[in-house]
């Protein structure tokens, strides 16, 4: 029955592509989270009136973030080809997509982190200072816990975009559902393959959003 409706779908290949997409997304989300939080913290802390106020550092980081956030992803992949080849050794496969995915998403997420940190009541930071907290204590025990719901909902949004990015990366050879849809579905005109790949991408996106929403509402005690 299913085989009649979807004559060209090979389920093992489809499954392998799904796993690849999940792998790329998972790795990229993890790295983006770490890098984005670090960059976001630096952006926040070096801003005017904050703990590490430093005009030069702030300008440099902000410029870096803005530039990489503005480059369209597909162009970023092409720009990063030499870097990726040097780092991963090839342009094919899931790992080759990671540098572009992370460099594309981390600055985007860093801005969200910065906004989340700016939402924290200045008075709370001041109270911690008044108690004699060091900057590290403030980062670990005030800034990150107090902004956690926003950090989680931000990474959820970022993860959803990353699923889309992996599909784009797939077109240029990185594997995953995007790659399958392009090679099998589009180039060989197997619309059923494209259809199934699309449904799977949607399912992944919905699951990510669903998990993100649950976690956010669990940790938000405001």
Partner 1 sequence: MITLEQVTKVYQAANGAVTAVDNVSLEIREGEIFGIIGYSGAGKSSLIRLLNGLEKPTSGRVIVAGRDMARVKGRELRNARQEIGMIFQHFNLLWSRTVRENIAFPLEIAGVPREERQKRVDELIQLVGLTGREEAYPSQLSGGQKQRVGIARALANNPKVLLCDEATSALDPQTTDAILDLLVDINKRLGLTIVLITHEMHVIRKICDRVAVMESGKIVEQGDVLHVFRNPQQPITKRFVKQLVEPEETEEAVSHLFGHYPNGVIAQLTFVGAAAGQPLITQVVRQFAVDVNILQGKISQTHQGAYGVLFVHIDGAADEIGRALDYIQDQQVAVEVIHDAR
Which residues contact partner 1 (rule: CB under 8 A)? 121, 123-124, 126-134, 137, 141-142, 145-146, 148, 219, 221-222
If the CB atoms of residues 114 and 146 are measured against partner 1, the closer one turns out to be: 146
If the CB atoms of residues 14 and 128 are measured against partner 1, the closer one turns out to be: 128
Q: How far apart are CA 154 and CA 149, in angstroms?
A: 8
Q: Which DSSP string do the residues of the chain spell out, in sequence order?
A: -HHHHSTT--HHHHHHHHHHHHHHHHHHHHHHHHHHHHHHHHHHHTSTTSTT--HHHHHHHHHHHHHHHHS-HHHHHHHTHHHHHHHHS-SSSHHHHHHHHHHHHHHHHHHHHHHHHHTS-HHHHHHHHHTT--HHHIIIIIIHHHHHHHHHHHHHHHHHHHHHHHHHHIIIII-HHHHHIIIIIIITT-HHHHHHHHHHHHHHHHHHHHHHHHHHHHH---
What minimum distance in Å lies between the beta carbon of 34 and partner 1?
21
What minimum distance in Å lies between the beta carbon of 61 and partner 1?
23
If the CB atoms of residues 66 and 134 are measured against partner 1, the closer one turns out to be: 134
What minimum distance in Å lies between the beta carbon of 131 and partner 1?
4
If the CB atoms of residues 78 and 127 are measured against partner 1, the closer one turns out to be: 127
If the CB atoms of residues 49 and 82 are measured against partner 1, the closer one turns out to be: 49
If the CB atoms of residues 77 and 116 are measured against partner 1, the closer one turns out to be: 116
Question: How many residues does the structure list for the chain?
Answer: 222
If the CB atoms of residues 54 and 137 are measured against partner 1, the closer one turns out to be: 137
CA angle 209, 150, 222 (to 5 degrees): 110
What minimum distance in Å lies between the beta carbon of 59 and partner 1?
18
What minimum distance in Å lies between the beta carbon of 209 and partner 1?
23
What minimum distance in Å lies between the beta carbon of 123 and partner 1?
4
What minimum distance in Å lies between the beta carbon of 158 and partner 1?
22
Write the burial class of residue 7 (CB in 10 Å: 0-12 exposed, 13-18 middle, 19+ buried). exposed
């Amino acid at each position: 029955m299913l085989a009649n409706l979807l004559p060209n779908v090979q389920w093992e290949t489809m499954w392998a592509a799904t796993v690849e997409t999940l792998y790329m997304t998972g790795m990229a989300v993890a790295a983006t989270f770490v890098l984005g939080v670090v960059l976001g913290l630096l952006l926040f802390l070096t801003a005017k009136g904050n703990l590490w106020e430093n005009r030069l550092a702030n300008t440099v980081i902000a410029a870096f973030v803005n530039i990489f956030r503005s480059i369209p992803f597909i162009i970023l992949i092409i720009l990063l080809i030499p870097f990726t080849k040097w780092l991963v050794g090839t342009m094919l496969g899931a790992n080759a997509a990671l540098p572009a995915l992370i460099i594309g998403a981390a600055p985007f997420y860093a801005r969200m982190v910065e906004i989340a940190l700016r939402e924290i009541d200045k008075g709370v930071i001041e109270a911690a200072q008044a108690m004699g907290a060091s900057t590290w204590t403030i980062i670990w025990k005030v800034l990150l816990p107090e902004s956690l719901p926003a950090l989680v909902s931000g990474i959820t949004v970022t993860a959803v975009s990353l699923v889309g990015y992996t599909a784009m990366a797939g077109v240029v050879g990185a594997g995953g559902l995007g790659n399958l849809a392009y090679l099998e579905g589009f180039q060989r005109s197997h619309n059923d393959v494209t259809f199934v790949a699309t449904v799977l991408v949607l399912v992944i996106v919905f699951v990510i959003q669903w998990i993100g929403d649950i976690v956010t509402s669990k940790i938000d005690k405001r």
